[in-house]
Chains A and B, each alone.
Chain A
Amino acid sequence: MTPAAVITGIGVVAPTGTGVREHWANTLAGRSGIAPITSYAPGLPVAVAGQVTDFDETEWVDHRLIVQTDRWTWLAFAAARLALDDARLDPAGENPMALSVVTAGGSGGNAFGQREIQALWREGPRAVSAYQSIGWFYAASSGQLSIRHQLKGACGVIVADGAGGIEAVRQARRLLARGSAGVLTGGTEAPLSPYALVCQSGQRGLSQGSDPDTAYRPFAADATGHVPGEGGAMLVLEPEEKARARGARVYAEVAGTASTHDAWHPEDPPPDSRQLERAVRESIARAGCVPDDIDVVFADGAGDARADRLELDALRAVFDGRSVPVTAPKTMTGRLCSGGAALDLAWAALAIDRGVLPPTVNVPADALGPGLDLVIEARPADVRYALVVARGVGGFNSAAVLRRSDPAAEK
C-alpha cells in the first residue's frame, strides 16, 4: 500500500509576500503584488508584473553563494528554508540518503546567463565567470538545495512550464512511494530581467495592459491576457505515518494527481478541453473521491479568451451543473511559470488548514457564467477537498487533489 503523502511545511516567496504569515494576510485582504515593472521595461509590450519586493538575498543565501547563483535560486533558497522551518524538520536529524529535493524548472538563471553571454560577446571568453556552468542551468536550484540541506536521495528537476509545480509534486510522491522519508519540492521563477522579458514579449496571450488592476483578469469578458511574475513556493512532503509520529503539523494530503498533454500546437490552445478534463477527472478518481466532494477549485486562469473558455468547459463538464467555488488568487501574483502551480498548491493547503477560500481579484463575480461560483472575497468554508488545475504553454495539463488529513477521521 502506497503511503499517504502529506504536506507538513510551506515556504512562500511571492509577490503576495515572503513567508506564510505575510502571504496569507495579503491574500485574504486581496492585496495584489502586480505592479509596473521596476527592473526594466522600456519599449516592451509588457509593462506590469508580479514582483517580489523587499527581498534581501543576503538574509537567505551564504555570501559566497550569492555570486555563484541567480535570483531564481536565491528565491528557492529562501522558500526552502521557510518550508523546512515551517515543517520543523531538521534534515541533519534524518538519514540524508532518504531525503530528496525535486524542483520545477522554468527559464533558469536569466539575469546570470544574460550577464555572462554579454561578457563573452563584449570582452571575450576569459571574461566569463567560473560560475556560469553552475549558475544558469535548470538544475542549479535543486543542486544547491541538495548541498545546503544535505538532501542526498534521488533529486529531480521537471520542466513542464506552468504545470511544472504539480509535476514536481508528482515526482515527489513517486519517491515517497518508493521509500523516501521526505521531499522538498516546488518551484520558483525569476523571469523579469531584460532578456527574459524580451523572450516572453512575443508570447501568445501576454497582456499588454499597463494598469495593474486590469492587465490580468482571467475569465473576464474583456480579458487581455496574462502578466508574468516571479517567485513561487517550496513544500515539504512526508509520508503521513512518519509525519504523525514526529508530531508534525499536517496541512493536507496530496490525495490524487494526474497529467495529460494536448499534443496540439507549440502555443495555441487545443480545439477542445478533452485532455484538460481527463487530467481533472483522473486526479479526482485517484484521490478516491468524486466531483461532488470537491469544495474549491484553484483555476489555471490563463487570461486568454480561448484558453479560459476551455478551462470553464472542462470544469462544467466535470462538475455537471454543481455550483462549485472556483478561485484564482494568482490574479494577485501573475503567472509564475514553474513557481505558479507550487504556489497554488500552497494556497490550497492553506485553504484546507485555515478553513478559508482565498479570493480572486479584479474579475467580476459573474465572469464564470452560470454553474460556477467565483470567489471574489475571502470566504470561510469547511474545505475537505481542494482541486488545483495547472497548464503549461505547449499543452501541458496537470491536476492535483489535496485532502484534509484528520488523524482520527474517516479516510
Chain B
Amino acid sequence: MRRAVITGVGVVAPGGESREQFWARIVDGKPAIRRITRFDPAAFRSRIAAEVDVDAAGRGLTPQEERRTDRFVQMAMIAADEAVADAGLDSAEGDRVGVTLGTAVGATSRLEDEYVIASNRGRDWVVDHRHTGPFLYQSLVPASGAAELAARYGAHGPAAVVSTGCTSGIDSIGHALGLVQDDEADVVIAGASDAPISPITVACFDAIRATTPHNDEPEAASRPFDDGRQGFVLGEGSAFLIVEELAHARARGARIYCEVTGYAARANGFHMTGLRPDGLELAEAIGDAMDQARLTTEDLGYISAHGSGTRQNDRHETAAYKRALGEPVRRVPISSIKAVVGHSLGAIGAIEMAACALTLQRGVIPPTANLTVPDPECDLDYTPLTAREAAVRHALSVGSGFGGFQSAMVFSSPGALA
C-alpha cells in the first residue's frame, strides 16, 4: 500500500490566524473565547464563542472571492494557501493533485443571512428570489468549497467535500489518505473549515443545551475534563494539511512533518446526539487505527482528545481510551485544545491534526487550559494548564460527533519512518 505523509500545514484558528500564531496560542493555553461579536447574542442561552479575526482581503482574497463565497470557504482558502506555501510546492497544479474539504454545516451563515433579507426577517414563508445575492446555489450545496479550492490551485485530481458532522475534519484527511493509498493522487490538499457562529446554529445548540451557559467568564467557559464543565463553546476556523505520497515527497526533498499511519471510523448506531457511556465504538476506531499503525499504547507519546467539554463526551471518551488502550494509557499525555480554540464542528478535527503534526515536529505537548478540578471520572493524564516538552514519536487524535460518528487517526514522526 502506498504511504502518505504530511508536508504542509496551514491554520486559521481563533486567537491564532496563522500556523505559528495558532501554535503559540495553544502552547500558551490562553483561551480565545469572548462574547459573540458577529451578531447580538443577548437573546441566546449561550452568548460566547471562539471567533476568528481574519482579514480576508489582507490575506489575498479578491473582492469577487469574498462576494461569492461564504466565510467557511474564505477561511479554507486562507488556510489552504498557507499549507500549500508551507509544503514548498512550486505549484499545486496538475492531474494528480486532489482536494478534500471537510465541513459540518457549510455555508449556513450565508444561507441564513440571505434568507433573513428575502423573507423580511422570517415574515414570509414564500420568499422572493429577486432579493437574494449572487452565487446562492454555491451556498446551498457546499461542494462549491472544494470546487473553489480546486480552481484556486489548478488541482485536477479527485475533489470532494466530506460532511460527517463533527468528525468531518479527521474524515477529510482520512479521505485524502485513501486517495493516496489507492494511487488516485500523489498530493491532496486536505482539510476542513466551518463558520457556524450564526444565530441559527447558536440557537440549535441552545435548544439541546449542548453549549455552555457559562457566559460571565468567557475565557474560563470551555473546560474539557474539568468537574465544572457545562458544555462546549462554539468556535470557527480552518486547517489544511498537504497529504503527499511518501516517495513523491522524498523525490522532491520535501520537509516531512509526519506520516499518516492509521485511520479508522465507526458509528455507534445508538443516537444522533447521545453517547453510551462505555465508549465501545470509539474504542473500536482507536484500536483499528492503532493496529494499522502497528503500535501499542506504550508507543504513543500524545493523544489529542476530542474533549468537547460536555458532561457526557468527556466521560465517554475516557472510557473509550481505557477500553482501547488499557492500563498503560494512564502514562500517555492527553489534552484538548478546545479549551483555547473552542469547538468548530467539522473544522476542529483538521485543526487538531495540525496540532498533532506540530507536536511531533516540535516536541511540545499543548495543555488543556482551564483544567483546574478534574472530574474524578476523567482520571487520565489530561495535561492540565501547562505545556510539556516531550519527544513524541506517535500521536493519536480522536473525534466524535452527531450521527454517532467516531473517528481516530494516528500520525507518526518522520524519525519513525522505515
**A residues within 8 Å of B by Cβ?**
40, 42-45, 68, 96-97, 100-101, 105-108, 113-114, 116-122, 124-125, 128-130, 132-134, 136-140, 142-144, 146-147, 150-161, 164, 167, 171, 174, 177, 191, 194-203, 258-267, 275, 278, 337, 392-396
Contact = CB atoms under 8 A, between A and B. Distances in A.
B129 A139 contact: no
Contacts of B157: 260-261
A150 B269 contact: yes
A143 B405 CA distance: 8
8 contacts: A134-B273, A154-B267, A156-B265, A159-B161, A164-B143, A202-B137, A266-B138, A392-B147
Of all A-B residue pairs in the complex, the 3 with the closest CB atoms, nearest first, are A143-B403, A394-B147, A121-B122
* Residue of A125, A158, A261 most packed against chain B (CB within 10 A): A261
A152 B162 contact: no
Contacts of A113: 111, 200
Contact of B43 (A125, A194, A260): A125
Given A118-B119, A194-B125, A125 B155 contact: no
Interface stretch (B30-38, B204-212, B309-317, B409-417): B204-212
Nearest to B405: A155
Interface string B265-295: 1111111110000000100100000000000
Contacts of B95: 260, 278
Interface residues of B, number: 87
Nearest to A149: B269
Contacts of B106: 108, 138, 159
Nearest to A121: B122
Given A107-B141, A158-B162, A263-B154, A143 B402 contact: yes
Given A117-B112, A124-B43, A202-B132, A158 B160 contact: yes
Given A130-B208, A152-B266, A156-B162, A394 B144 contact: yes
A380 B17 CA distance: 61
Q: DSSP majority for the B interface?
A: mixed
A376 B16 CA distance: 59
Interface in B138-155: 138-144, 146-148, 150-151, 153-155
A138 B142 CA distance: 9
Interface of B: 43-45, 68, 95, 99, 104-106, 111-112, 114-116, 118-119, 121-123, 125-129, 132, 134-144, 146-148, 150-151, 153-165, 168, 171, 175, 178, 182, 184, 199-200, 202-208, 210, 264-273, 281, 284, 401-405
Contacts of A117: 112, 115-116, 122, 200
B273 A133 contact: yes
Given A132-B207, A155-B265, A202-B132, A147 B271 contact: yes
A395 B147 contact: yes
Nearest to B202: A125
A263 B178 contact: no
B160 A159 contact: yes
Given A128-B207, A198-B129, A155 B156 contact: no
A265 B151 contact: yes
* Residue of B136, B143, B156 most packed against chain A (CB within 10 A): B143
Given A125-B206, A159-B143, A151 B267 contact: yes
B125 A153 contact: no
Given A117-B122, A118-B125, A198 B203 contact: no
Contacts of A203: 137
Contacts of A154: 264-267
A125 B203 contact: yes
A199 B164 contact: no
B404 A133 contact: no
B272 A261 contact: no
Given A120-B203, A125-B43, A195-B115, 8 more contacts: A128-B203, A134-B272, A159-B141, A199-B114, A202-B137, A263-B156, A263-B159, A395-B147
A45 B200 CA distance: 28
Contact of B403 (A146, A174, A337): A146
Nearest to B265: A154
Contacts of A159: 106, 141-143, 146, 160-163
Contacts of A146: 267, 269, 403-405
Contacts of A120: 122, 199-200, 203
A373 B273 CA distance: 51
B156 A196 contact: no
A153 B150 CA distance: 30
Contacts of A106: 141
Contacts of B45: 125
B272 A147 contact: yes
Nearest to B137: A203
Contact of A267 (B138, B265, B269): B138
A116 to B, nearest CB: 7
Nearest to B135: A266
Given A116-B204, A133-B207, A260-B156, A160 B146 contact: yes
Given A137-B165, A159-B163, A198 B141 contact: no
A139 B168 CA distance: 10
Given A133-B205, A152-B266, A275-B156, A263 B150 contact: yes
Contacts of B118: 195, 198
B408 to A, nearest CB: 11
Nearest to A147: B269
Contacts of B116: 117, 121
Contact of A133 (B159, B184, B402): B402
Contact of B150 (A40, A118, A150, A261): A261
B163 to A, nearest CB: 4
Contact of B155 (A116, A142, A164, A263): A263
Nearest to A204: B137
A211 B143 CA distance: 30
A125 B129 CA distance: 25
A396 B147 contact: yes
B158 A259 contact: yes
A122 B163 contact: no
Contact of A152 (B138, B208, B267, B271): B267
A152 B125 contact: no
Contact of A157 (B68, B164, B281, B284): B164
B207 A130 contact: yes
Nearest to B100: A158
B115 A114 contact: yes
A124 B147 CA distance: 35
A337 B142 CA distance: 12
A157 B163 contact: yes
Contact of B269 (A96, A122, A196): A96
Contacts of A265: 151
